[in-house]
Amino acid sequence: MAGKEIREIRCCMIKRGRLCIYLASSEKGAARVGLALDNGPDCPDYFKKIFPDAILIEDKKSNYYMIEAVDAALAGRDVSSRLKLDVNHTPFQIKVWKGIVRIPPGKTMTYGEVAAMAGCPGGARAIGQVMHRNPLPLIFPCHRVVAANGLGGFSGGLELKRYLLNREQV
């Protein structure tokens, strides 16, 4: 009887200003970007709950392409189409993620505006769920999507969302 295949995840953490950026990849591609402000746990500890059945290996060299992609994204360049991905997604999520990469740094769109752009008018809540489940923030800049009457939510917390927007001078 064949056993369950154990997934190997290579991870690292980089600092950019106050940002702790956690990167995880597999042999298939980019698997996750995590964000924290100032300080956070070490890399394997950060990813234990996200990849509970995986072998976590701290390996900056294997994630160099992700480091370059994140640095490009922080500089305002869209790298999403050049990055191989290893994430679970629906066609709708991909459509929305491809849409939000067109929001320029320093600008925001509301959940409702993104919903209309994605062909789902009135689907602001659906867009909020897609943003909440975004496994690659910065690559797909969900922090640029805000509520009609304020910041809205952010999986990393509102302080982190404010930091990212202020960094882009929104």
Continuous segment of H or E residues that includes residue 46: helix 43-47
Contact (CB, 8 A) for 131 and 109: no
Main-chain phi, psi angles of 68, to 5 degrees: -60, -40
- Cα–Cα–Cα angle for 33, 24, 108, nearest 5°? 10
Catalytic residue among 12, 20, 43, 142: 142
Give the residue from 141, 140, 110 showing the smallest Cα distance to 127.
110
Verify whether residue 11 is a known catalytic residue: no
Measuring CA to CA, which residue among 145, 110, 150 is closest to residue 164?
145
Cβ distance 29 to 83 under 8 Å?
yes
Active-site residue numbers?
142
